[in-house]
Amino acid sequence: MKPQPWKVCTVTQVEEVKILTRMLPIVASTIIMNTCLAQLQTFSVQQGNTMNLKLGSFTVPASSIPVIPLIFISILVPIYELFFVPFARKITNHPSGITQL
Q: Provide, rounded to the nearest whole percent, the portion of the chain with pLDDT above 70.
A: 94
* Averaged pLDDT, 9-14: 89
Region 18-41 average pLDDT:
89
The span from the CA of 10 to the CA of 53, in Å, is 62
Q: How far is 94 from 85, CA to CA, in rounded Å?
A: 10
Q: Is the pLDDT of residue 17 over 90?
A: yes
Q: Which residues, including other chains, have CB under 8 Å from residue 64's CB and lie 6 or more apart?
A: 48
Q: Residue 80 above 80 pLDDT?
A: yes
**Assessment of whether the complete model's pTM goes beyond 0.85:** no
User: Does residue 1 carry a pLDDT above 80?
Assistant: no
pLDDT reading at 48 higher than 90: no
